[in-house]
Amino acid sequence: MNYFKSIEISEKKDDLLIIVHMNEDHAHAKLIGLEDPMTEFASSFWEQAGDRLDVIREHAKKYIQEHPIEKPLKRALVVVMLGTAVVTSFPLTNEALAANDPSIMSVSNTYKVVAGDTLWKIATANKTTVDELLTLNKLNSDMIYPDQLLILPTLPTSTEPPIITYTTHVVGTGDNAWNISIKYGIPMSELLKVNQLTMTSTLNINQTLKIPIHSIPVRPVAAIGKGEFLDWNTEAQYIIPIGKKIVLTDVKTGVSWNAVRTIGAGHADTEPATASDAAIMKSVWGGKYAWTPRAVLVKVDGRTIAAAALSMPHGVESIMDNNYTGHFCLHFKNSIRHKDGLVDPAFQAQIRIAAGLVSV
In order of 63, 322, 329, the CA distances from 229 in angstroms are 32, 30, 18
Is the pLDDT at 338 greater than 70, yes or no? yes
Please state, in angstroms and rounded to a whole number, the distance separating the CA atoms of residues 132 and 13. 14
Lowest mean pLDDT among 16-25, 87-96, 139-148, 185-194: 87-96
What's the CA gap between 233 and 82, in Å, rounded?
49
Per-residue pLDDT band for 53 (boundaries 50, 70, 90) equals: low
pLDDT value for 36: 41
Per-residue confidence (pLDDT) for residue 318, from 0 to 100:
96
Higher pLDDT, 69 or 293: 293
Q: What is the mean pLDDT of residues 137-159?
A: 80
Whether 175 shows a pLDDT value over 80: the answer reads yes
Is 121 a residue whose pLDDT tops 70? yes
Classify 14 as helix, strand or coil: coil
How many residues would you count in the chain? 360
User: Across the strands, what pairs with 238?
Assistant: none
Q: Which of 8-17, 84-93, 100-109, 183-192 has the highest mean pLDDT?
A: 183-192
Determine the Cα angle at 263 with ends 261 and 265, to 5°.
110
Cβ atoms of residues 23 and 84 within 8 Å: no
pLDDT confidence bin for 126, thresholds 50/70/90: confident
Per-residue confidence (pLDDT) for residue 98, from 0 to 100: 41
Total Cβ atoms within 10 A of residue 6: 12
**What integer pLDDT is reported at residue 97 of this predicted model?**
46
Segment 103-124 mean pLDDT: 71
Q: Which of 20-24, 183-187, 267-271 has the lowest mean pLDDT?
A: 20-24
CA distance 344 to 308: 11
DSSP bridge pairs for 169? 209
pLDDT score, position 1: 56
More confident residue, 47 or 286: 286
Confidence of residue 21 (pLDDT cuts 50, 70, 90): confident
Supply the pLDDT for residue 145: 84
> Does residue 320 have a pLDDT over 80?
yes
From 43-47, 64-68, 317-321, the region with the lowest mean pLDDT = 43-47
Which of residues 267 and 20 earns the better pLDDT score?
A: 267
Give me the pLDDT at residue 44, please: 40
Q: What percent of the chain has pLDDT over 90?
A: 51
CB-side exposure of 98: number of CA atoms within 13 Å? 18
Q: How far is CA 116 from the centre of its chain?
A: 18
Can you give the three-state secondary structure of 19-77, one letter per residue? EEEECCCHHHHHHCCCCCCCCCCCCCHHHHCHHHHHHHHHHHHHHHHCCCCCCCCCEEE
3 state DSSP class of 180: helix
- Choices 3.10.350.10, 3.30.300.30, 3.30.70.20, 3.30.450.20: CATH for 163-215: 3.10.350.10
The whole-number pLDDT of residue 251 equals: 93
Q: 163-174, pLDDT tens digit by residue?
A: 999 999 999 999
Q: Report, as an integer, the average pLDDT of 71-90.
A: 70
| pLDDT at res. 198 | 96
User: What is the per-residue pLDDT for 42?
Assistant: 36
pLDDT of residue 140 exceeding 70, the answer is: yes
Give the DSSP H or E segment for 354. Answer: helix 345-354
* Mean pLDDT of the residues in the chain: 83
Provide the total of helices (H) and of strands (E) in the chain, helices listed first: 11, 14
Q: Is the pTM of this model over 0.75?
A: no
C-alpha distances in Å from residue 174, one per residue of 170, 186, 203, 205, 206: 12, 19, 10, 9, 12
Q: Is residue 100 pLDDT above 70, yes or no?
A: no
